[in-house]
Amino acid sequence: MSTDDTTLPDALAELRDAFLETPERDRLQLLLEVSRELPPLPDRYADAPEQLERVQECQSPVYAFAEVDDAGVVAFHATAPEEAPTTRGFASILAQGLTGLTAQQVLDVPDDYPLQLGLTKVVSLLRLNGMAGMLARAKRQVREQVEAARA
């Protein structure tokens, strides 16, 4: 498991550390608390959810999109049902951790970041794969926008 802080931005490192500093038996509760912090979608997405991409790796209907502005700063938007708090928690972690980063910082986030949270004994591997799917999509979307901007 990689915990290399040289490539992990502060917000993601702080979230990871919060989970690792929490006793294992309480980590699921922390994830549920984080799920309540998922920012609402901006109006332009709330009114047109088809602009968001379905995260197929998630059992729950999760839609997400990472956008890169003209300054190269990323905003990660996601929606997940309230009755799927684990998935909402993962979406919230990524929304809090990726938003405000440069495109390169997002691309440099280790693919194994979901495994660095110390949740492997309290959350199913299927759910962790869902978070990995969200992260992979965000990185692909950022990469595509960066390449399109260069073209």
CA distance 146 to 36: 31
- 100 half-sphere exposure, CB direction, 13 A CA radius: 8
Ordered per-residue pLDDT tens for the chain, 151 residues: 444 455 799 999 999 999 999 999 999 999 999 999 999 999 888 777 677 889 999 889 999 999 999 999 999 999 999 999 999 999 999 999 999 999 999 999 999 999 999 999 999 988 899 999 999 999 999 999 999 988 8
CA distance 136 to 94: 11
pTM of the shown model: 0.92
For residue 130, give both structure tokens. 């869902």
Residue 6 has a pLDDT of 57
Condensed to tens digits (0 to 9), the pLDDT of residues 115-130 reads 999 999 999 988 899 9
CA distance 73 to 70: 7
Residue 100 backbone zone (phi > 0: left; psi -120 to 50: alpha; other: beta):
left
Contacts of 99 (CB under 8 A, 6+ apart): 39, 74, 75, 76
